[in-house]
Amino acid sequence: MDKLKKRWGIDSNFQIVIIFVVFAITGSIATKLAAPVTEFIGLNRETTSSWLYWSARILLIFPIYQVSLVFFGWLFGQFQFFWNFEKKMLNRIGLGFLFK
């Protein structure tokens, strides 16, 4: 735990618990919200080919997750941590230009 706290620049174990809770909530919310969004854009699981439906759904999960992560981080009082985490993650996948 100490290694993780040092790496993330966190002071308390309570902060780590909050961060893990935010990650859990965000992942769950992103996967749950992707289903109605795919329905909204007209991709139905029964009428669309599986590879197209699941590819679109997975691609939709990514931006939903990014927005949710910052939102729930803010809601739980950890905005700065998740904002920095977000910038670092997008930088690593080549989308860092969005924050410059």
Domain that holds residue 10: 2-99
Q: What is the pLDDT of residues 37-88, one digit of tens each?
A: 998 988 888 888 889 999 999 999 999 999 999 999 999 999 999 998 888 8
Q: What is the pLDDT of residues 48-61, one digit of tens each?
A: 888 999 999 999 99
Q: Provide the whole-model pTM.
A: 0.81
- Count, in order, helices (H) and strands (E) of the chain: 4, 0
State how many domains the chain has.
1
